[in-house]
Structure 1
Amino acid sequence: MNNTTAEEPGICEVGGSGLWLPLGGDAEAMWPSELKIFLYLLGLIYCFLGVAIIADVFMSAIEKVTSVKKQVMSKELEKKVTVKVWNDTVANLTLMALGSSAPEILLSVIELVGANFYSGSLGASTIVGSAAFNLLGITAVCIAALPNGEIKQIKDQKVFAITGTFSIFAYLWMLVILVAFSEDMVEPWEGVITFLFFPLLVILSYMADIGMFGSVRQPTEHIVLSQVTTEQLAELMMKVRQDFGGRPVAVRVKAALQHELRQRRSRAVYRVAAVRDMAGGKKVAGINDKTRAQLDASRASNAGNNAQNSASNNTNSNAFLTEAAKSKEKASCVEFVSSRFSVLESVGKAKFGISRHGDLSVAVNVLWKTRSGNEAKHAKDGKDFKMQEGNVEFEPGSSYEEVEVEIIDDDQYEDDQEFYIEINAAVCATKGVDASIGEKKEATVVIVDDDLPGLLSFEREEIQVQESHLQQEMEITVRRRMGASGEIKCRARTEDWSAKAGADYGKVDEELIFKPGQMEAFIKVQIMPKGRYESTEKFRLILEDPTGGAKFDSTTDGGSDSCVCTVVILADTKNKPLVDKIFSTLSPNWDEVALGNAAWIDQFVEAMYCGGSKEEQKNSSWFEFVLHVLSLPWKLIFALVPPTEYCGGWLCFFIALAMIGCVTIIIGDLASLLGCSMQISDLQTAITLVAMGTSLPDTFASRTAALQDEYADASIGNVTGSNSVNVFLGIGLPWMIGAIYWNVLGPTDEWKAKYPRLMTIYPDGGFIVKSTGLAFSVAVFSCCAVVCFAVLIARRAFLGGELGGPKPMQYVSGGVLACLWALYIGLSIWNDSQNN
């Protein structure tokens, strides 16, 4: 971090110093070089562990901030819904990117301030080196991490295309600034534009995310456990039942729900889990291969048991149905063709059909009779119809016969009247063969007073149906009154209200037909299982566009233009007690997946134990315990940071950021001390040790995300955005500040002494950034990045995804990227050595 000239001593030499180190001053400078190299390297590695641990706390705060939800009124659903305050893409490119790259960005800013606003090579070189390791090294690890044959792809390709383009453009822009416009000097407008590319990237990525450049991306479901409601829990339970089958017991539902609730994890969760594994800290629930394997095995076992039970039940059920069907087929069954008929008063003699099914090889004699009722609507014997009885003979092979009833016509207007025809008995002529009567053993006959086509209306204007854990079919009855002449039709369709077609019910759009004399018809609607706690949802079934002279009953909902039936879907009353039981047992366990703590004292207790608790320490391995002991001083220091529950996580955010800055100062001084002791430049130290040390937690986090996440976005999809943000913030911000500072201040005596050769080129002074080494490093990385994206595009085209595939192809792709990274390191060091 110390800018040296020929006259200035190095940081490790007598008279040299950094911001805080060396603590021993000139006495330390006299130590043997071998001892200094060993101690500085050990200290640098230990500080990498420390900055990773405080970054864990910082990312916990970011997870808390970005997971905040609020309730808003949905005009579409006509109810309050819960939405996330932070858009996922915006969160990833701002706070999440800052969280994973905070050491590199702060190193660059601190280097500027610590060097009296002169530029240094450590910060900028670390950012370029970190970008190379992230894009080439981490991507190579993720490609080769998947099991043989498994393929995962980036889901949000539009966002990835934008961030990928910016990630290459950002470094080419650095090259343009350093070489093209004003060599070795950054002007204020260059710094400002570099910084403004950051909000431009965020805006463009957000526009792509919400569908302004094409189709709208489906929002990602991300339920925060501490904010889950009983309604959300009920819906999740229904999903689990569909996945695992039937109505599992509460223990199984609880275990499956905890698995489902953790499926969508943010980038912060994977990063924190990786750091805690490195430091022997509290495990993040579900983020390890063992847990994943156990859950997958449990899911497979449950699915297998359900399949076996289902198969067994189906076998028994099918056997029962088969026997019942065979028994039924043996008998000859008779019934009316419809349970409701209508006839005109002037018809004279009306005929009504009786059908037969089953065994048709025998003759069957059917006894029938008419009857009336005592109510005003009932037709009267001798006045409206003639009471009759008789028999119908079904000959062998016959399946249809008719009975005939005389209807009496008069000149007096009267409402529709009805009487009944019933089958009394069915007798088979053949011995040993039974005859039976079906469900339609009685038919209602409506005598219509005139020749009108009729009025249509629903049997009920509001129908309530209780949801089930299985899909169910309901029949909605449409009645035809005051006439039944001719064939009439109308359109039947559903309309969303709070219930939505496809999710809550099956969409209906069909033609409803009434044959001459037909008095009722049925519309079948599918009711989907969704999982409701107490809520009710509604949709409408609408009749419109009648033909054949039919009209709608103007006294019903919809008036004379249409006919409306409201269907209300009620929550399953049997479901509520189970939801309450599971909610009460889950509630105390929400904290097990929370990244932060609610109480300050808990942080110190967690820091003291390996695995975060006394119980977990007993189950920890000796290696985890060693890591815990090594990281214990850092854990106790960073336990001073306020918990994430204070001020919505923002207090933890800013204090953790300040602590990252403190550790970064030490890392910067140690890196310069190490490089000075080894007699290598800051650039070589930055692109190797510092870049790898700050990026190591991201490597483990990305590998875990590649194995456990459904898509590749959480593993490599965020690398491009992070690399872009590093340039726009980590370089754009300090360069903008430095350029403006020297543009206002002008060349001081110190500036003139520091850059005597540049006085003739830039007499008005300016912010000097030596392009030697850095520009070459940026150019090499840009070329390697283009090849890397070509590899990813080729993998998507030929293998179907950026990650995984056959093992030989994984090793080839990963090997190519690893060689590119080695090439970048080798060429950068070679060029730097040539110039120094």
Structure 2
Amino acid sequence: MRALAALVVACSGGARALPPERLTPRNYTPARTLHCSDGLMLPAWQPLDDVPTLDIALRGLVYFFALLYLFIGVSIVSDRFMAAIEVITSREKEVRVRRNGSEQIIVVRVWNETVANLTLMALGSSAPEILLSVIEIAGKNFEAGDLGPGTIVGSAAYNLFVIIAICVMVIPDGEVRKIKHLRVFLVTATWSIFAYVWLYLILAVISPSEVEVWEGAVTFLFFPATVMTAYIADRRLLVYKYLKKGYRVNERGVIVEAEGDGSVEMALKPGDDFATDDEEGRELDKSRREYISVLRELRRQHPDEDLETVERMALETLMARGPKSRAFYRVAATRKMTGGGDFSRKISERAQSDLSEVKAEIQRRESGSVSPEPKGPNVRFDPDHYTVMENCGSFEARVIRRGDLAGEVTVRYTTEDGTAEAGSDYIAAQGVLIFGHGESEKTFSVEVIDDDVFEEDEHFFLRLSSPKGACLASPSTATVVILDDDHSGVFSFPQRDFELTESVGTYDLRVVRTAGARGKVKVPYWTEDGTAKSGAQYEPAQGFIIFENNETEKFIPLHIIEEDSYEKDVLFYVNLGDPELMGDTQRSARHNEAEHLVTLPEDEAVVAMMGLPRAGEITRAQLRVKESKEFKNTVDKLVQRANASIIIGTSSWKEQFTEAITASSGSDDPDEPTSWSDYVLHIITLFWKIIFAFVPPTDIGGGYVCFVVSIICIGLVTAVIGDVASHFGCTLGIKDSVTAIVFVALGTSIPDTFASKVAAIQDKTADASVGNVTGSNAVNVFLGIGVAWTVAAIVHWTRNEKFHVEPGNLAFSVTMFCSEAALVVIVLILRRRKSIGGELGGPRCMKVTTSIFFFSLWLIYLVLSGLEAYDVIQGF
């Protein structure tokens, strides 16, 4: 000992000797043994014995940042998965809706929104938690672990307490958001609380510390039960008085009673909304009104822009404002977090594409209503109607040839009596027209007989027949109207009712002159209000129209004011006054003739009066102004396409790699330049973006190929996350149950947090932000734990073993969560009272109070669960 002391003194340069317990070297770091085992994908970090504290801290930091980076990766690939789900669930079909006595065809989604949210959407947002539970079971040789179930329970607590607290707080002061599908929310909330009660029952009551095969199977079967009951609540079909009597819903969505071979249709009260299609119709009407309102506002703001540009801007606005799926908000949040920008540019491109496609489709339909052009060479009249004066002598009728102009074509023409007779009104004619090689038209002459006898307008026909070298096309018959030129005529509208569209601009209302065309005549006219008001729907008009000698028709210009109204149907009237001859000589002749009528017999007076201009039978025209069919069709098509969610899909690998390597601004303003922070986030996440750009685009196989490949990638990344999280916990001495509810649950839920925040602000309802939380929590248990434990229980049963699951911290966490979740649901329901008005937002004081309360519940849950895990407090 003395020698050792002397050696120490010598090494210390003669310093004073120290007691043995103080002889520890200054650079010594305490060491300990790490109880870590190899993971499914990653081996444990060696060595595990006598690891210095500094190395432990370094390893903890490496694992922590690796977890963060893996969370980013799983978020990015989960968004590829969500895009595939959106494409799958956005499939549409056409349905016929009978509303207000008329039948409409609208486009609706094949997938019910509630079913989609509780199945594929819930799977997409919770895939990491669900797969982590399944992979952990498989990685531990089908023995129970704490990481998977703990992550599911911890994620449920974070979603219900923290996400809802944030959503309540971010609503602007004074605004509220209510859950639209309250029945669905209550059903899924009940199932979400029951799911965790059921976990406690099978772990601590029914078969303590053991999960039997039937318990795992029943846990899984609660998943379809959740979906079914939520769907029934959504469709309002769970009405006992109908179900117990054997009523059913027919193909039109109407309740009918099945009796014998037939069925008796029931009259529904206004509140009995069993007609599902009618609900779709109401939603479509609401979208139409919003689109038209936006269109009018934009036209006022941009008076110099053409209509198509304003329509595109309106569609962009509608897509940006409209409700979006959970998938859209999730993907948009991840893009902003990773420097991928937002969807403003894609929304604009999609709006332009949809508008062009709709216009082209309408044009194709309208052109398809015209009779198709006959194939091969053909002949026809052009025009097919002639109006000639009695004193014209003769006129030329025109026949044209279309199609192949090669070779010779002949066709026979003849005249045929109508009210006009050959020999007294016209000269009968017949003959053969010969079209030489390359000739496309021929004419022939018809002579009209003039006399001094007053006659009503008469007509006869021209017909083509016996073609050679071509076929007859329509019109093969022409009509010739002969107007009498011996008297001043009768003036009237050609019909009583006219229908026009508001987009016509200026409508020329036709006034005709029959039974004579001699002399210059003026006819007064004026407009009159009906349901249409002058200055609002049309511009008032008053004045005279002048018919020159031998002129048989004139037009009254009417200016229609366009309002972009979807269902406009208003009336106004145009009246004609008594016509008057113009010129002093004619006025004198008329006066003398009128005096002479007094001395004539009655029958002769009538004949003489027919020589003066007079008003006809129809001197009051009714004009019905309706919406433009093209405008209506455009609105219908656009509002059905105004779903911004579907733009998250991709059409090619080129598009995916372009997006992967391009940094974009995370600002909502598409014109904002990309900031340095966007570039930093983009560079950090570039590896994941490029790796997952290899996932097949959503356009391949209707999204199903992307769906399968994405879930495989999620499983691989999740397996690594499970290993890293386990190594992280064992390195720092943190139990898996605590790691799960704090770190892993938080990391997998961050994208959902941003998605719910944006959804709460932008949506008009709270369904996308809050309503989906409860359903997702229930699905996590029934799928994540149900599948894992069912498989494990079956494997142990085949080995004649029992599948042991110690309640431990899980039972305590479940009990804490259920108690606090019930409080959250009660508070949300109470917030629907008039004093607040909705689940989210409201007066600032109530917002802050509710948010603090919910966040406190989460902290209490974490603290108590952690204390119980380390045996500071007694659990179950």
TM-score bin, normalised by smaller chain: 0.5 to 0.7
Q: Corresponding residue for 1:605?
A: 658
Alignment partners' CA distance in 1, 2:128 and 2:135: 10
Map of 1:824 onto structure 2: 861
Task: Give the letter aligned to residue 315 of structure 2.
Answer: L
Q: Is the counterpart of residue 648 in structure 1 residue 702 in structure 2? A: yes
1:261 aligns with 2:286: no
Q: Which residue of 2 aligns with 1:811?
A: 848
Counterpart residue number, 1:292? none
Aligned to 1:688: 742
TM-score by length of 1: 0.59
Q: Runs of 5+ in structure 1 lacking a partner? A: 1-10, 225-230, 289-373, 377-441, 443-458, 471-526, 538-566, 747-764
Q: Are the structure 2 counterparts of residues 85 and 619 from structure 1 closer, same or farther at C-alpha, using a change threshold of 3 Å?
A: same
- Asked if residue 776 in structure 1 is aligned to residue 830 in structure 2, the reply is no
1:281 aligns with 2:318: no
Correspondences of 1:586-597 after superposition (within 5 Å): 594-597=647-650
How far does residue 160 in structure 1 lie from its aligned partner after superposition?
A: 0.6
Structure exhibiting the larger radius of gyration computed from Cα positions:
2
Give the whole-Å Cα distance in 2 for the aligned partners of 1:622 and 1:745: 59
Cα 1:12–1:698 shift into 2, 3 Å: farther
Question: Following TM superposition, by how much is the alpha carbon of 1:140 offset from its aligned partner in structure 2, in angstroms?
Answer: 0.3
Q: Among 43, 50, 69, which residue is 2:73 paired with?
A: 50
- Could you tell me how far apart the structure 1 residues matched to 2:36 and 2:788 are? 27
What's the offset of the Cα at 1:284? 2.1
**Contact 1:163 1:724 survives alignment (8 Å):** yes
Which of residues 792, 815, 821 in structure 1 aligns to 2:828? 792
Deviations 1:756-790 (A, max 9, x none): xxxxxxxxx31111101110010001111011112
> Cα distance, 1:159 vs. partner?
0.5
Residue pair 2:294, 2:317 contacting (<8 A) in 1 also:
no
Change (3 A) 1:19 1:741: same
What is the one-letter code of the residue matched to 1:659? C
Distance in 1 separating the partners of 2:500 and 2:687: 59
Write out aligned runs for 1:434-513 (5 A). 465-468=499-502
1:482-515 per-residue CA deviation (whole Å, 9 max, x = no partner) reads xxxxxxxxxxxxxxxxxxxxxxxxxxxxxxxxxx
**Secondary structure in 1 matching 2:831:** helix
Contact 1:469–1:530 (8 Å) recurs in 2:
no
Q: Secondary structure at the match of 2:650?
A: coil
Structure 1 residues 176, 375: closer, same or farther in 2, change over 3 A?
A: farther
Give the direction of change, closer, same or farther, for the CA distance of 1:126–1:569 in structure 2 (3 Å limit).
Answer: farther
- C-alpha distance 697-222 of structure 1, shift in aligned 2 (>3 A): farther
Q: 1:282 deviation in Å?
A: 3.8
**Is 2:42 the partner of 1:21?**
yes
When normalised by structure 2's length, the TM-score is 0.57
Alignment CA distance shift 1:528-1:819 (3 Å): same
CA distance in 2, matches of 1:593, 1:67: 7
Count of residues in Structure 1 that have an aligned counterpart in Structure 2: 552
State how far apart, in whole Å, the 1-side matches of 2:123 and 2:627 are.
Answer: 44
Residue 104 (str. 1) matches residue 129 (str. 2): yes
What residue in structure 1 maps to residue 802 of structure 2? 766
Q: Which amino acid aligns with 2:502?
A: S
Going from structure 1 to structure 2, the CA distance change for 1:591 and 1:91 (only over 3 Å counts) comes to: closer
Q: How do 1:148-163 and structure 2 match up within 5 A?
A: 148-163=173-188
Please say which of residues 78-87 and 637-646 is displaced more in the overlay.
Answer: 78-87
Is contact 2:501-2:629 (8 Å) kept? no
C-alpha displacement of 1:818: 0.5
Structure-to-structure mapping, 1:722-741, within 5 angstroms: 722-741=776-795
Contact 1:467/1:529 (8 A) holds in 2: no
Q: Say what the alpha-carbon RMSD is for the aligned residues.
A: 4.5
- Letter of the 2:675 counterpart: S
Q: Deviations over 1:318-352 (max 9, x none)?
A: xxxxxxxxxxxxxxxxxxxxxxxxxxxxxxxxxxx
- The letter for the 1-side match of 2:78 is A
> Which residue number in structure 1 is paired with residue 63 of structure 2?
40
The answer to whether structure 1 residue 134 and structure 2 residue 177 are counterparts is: no
Would the aligned equivalents of 1:149 and 1:804 in 2 still touch at CA under 8 Å?
A: yes
Q: 1:176 aligns with which of 201, 205, 212?
A: 201
Q: Give the distance between the partners of 1:675 and 1:160, measured in 2 at CA.
A: 36
- How far apart, in 2, do the equivalents of 1:121 and 1:732 lie? 15
Partner residue of 2:329 out of 253, 270, 279: 270
Please give the alpha-carbon distance, in whole angstroms, between the structure 1 residues aligned to 2:50 and 2:70: 21
Equivalent AA in structure 1 for residue 185 of structure 2: F
Q: In the alignment, is residue 679 of structure 1 matched against residue 737 of structure 2?
A: no
Write the mapping of 1:288-367 to structure 2, written as runs, cut at 5 A: none
Report Cα offsets for 1:195-235 as digits up to 9, x if no partner: 111101111111111121475387469999xxxxxx99998
Contact kept, 8 Å, 1:236 with 1:531, in 2: the verdict is: no
Aligned-partner Cα distance in 2 for 1:714–1:592: 12
Structure 2 Cα separation of the partners of residues 53 and 182 of structure 1: 40
User: 2:144 aligned with 1:119, yes or no?
Assistant: yes
Q: Is the 8 A contact 2:115 2:227 kept in 1?
A: yes
8 Å CA contact 2:345, 2:670 repeated in 1: no
Q: SS at 1:271's partner residue?
A: helix
**Per the alignment, do residues 102 and 590 of structure 1 end up closer, same or farther by CA in structure 2, a change over 3 Å counting?**
closer
CA contact (8 A) 1:285 1:593 kept: no
Contact (CA 8 Å) 1:51, 1:660: kept in 2 or not? yes
Show the counterpart of 2:120. Answer: 95
Whole-Å separation in 2 of the counterparts to 1:208 and 1:590 = 25
For the residues of structure 2 that align with 1:238 and 1:617, how far apart are their CA atoms?
26
Q: 2:683 aligns with which of 625, 629, 632?
A: 629
Residues 771/591 of structure 1: CA separation in 2 closer, same or farther (3 Å cut): closer
Partner Cα separation in structure 2 for residue 142 and residue 464 of structure 1: 55
Distance 1:705 1:823, change over 3 A: same
Provide the C-alpha distance between the structure 2 equivalents of 1:813 and 1:782, rounded to a whole number of angstroms. Answer: 18
Alignment of 1:419-438 (within 5 A): none
Aligned match of 1:252 in 288, 302, 310? Answer: 310
Aligned identity (percent) is 42
Cα offset, 1:692, TM superposition = 0.5
Q: Secondary structure at the match of 1:796?
A: coil
**Secondary structure of 2:664's aligned partner:** helix
Following superposition, the deviation at residue 574 of structure 1 comes to 7.6
Change (3 A) 1:223 1:75: closer
CA distance in 2, matches of 1:131, 1:705: 19
Please state whether the residue corresponding to 1:465 is helix, strand or coil: strand
Superposed counterparts of 1:542-561, under 5 Å: none
Tell me, in whole angstroms, the C-alpha distance in 2 between the residues paired with 1:724 and 1:285.
34
1:187 aligns with 2:212: yes
Secondary structure in 1 matching 2:94 = strand
The amino acid of 2:500's aligned partner reads: Q
The verdict on how the C-alpha distance between 1:649 and 1:206 changes in structure 2, with shifts beyond 3 A counting, is: same
Q: Secondary structure at the match of 2:727?
A: helix
- 1:477 counterpart residue number: none
Asked if 1 retains the 8 angstrom alpha-carbon contact of 2:665 and 2:674, the reply is no
Q: Report the CA distance shift for 1:826/1:285 in structure 2 as closer, same or farther (over 3 A).
A: same
- Name the aligned partner's letter for residue 37 of structure 2: G
Q: CA deviation at 1:469?
A: 7.0
Could you say if the C-alpha distance between residues 735 and 569 of structure 1 is closer, same or farther in structure 2, counting changes exceeding 3 Å? farther
How far apart are residue 811 of structure 1 and its match? 0.8
Per the alignment, residue 752 of structure 2 pairs with 698
Amino acid at match of 1:266: S
Q: Distance in 2 between matches of 1:709 and 1:647?
A: 31
Q: For 2:682 and 2:214, locate their aligned partners in 1 and report how far apart those are by CA, in whole Å.
A: 48
- 1-side partners of 2:74 and 2:160: how far apart? 21
What is the aligned partner in structure 2 of residue 801 from structure 1? 838
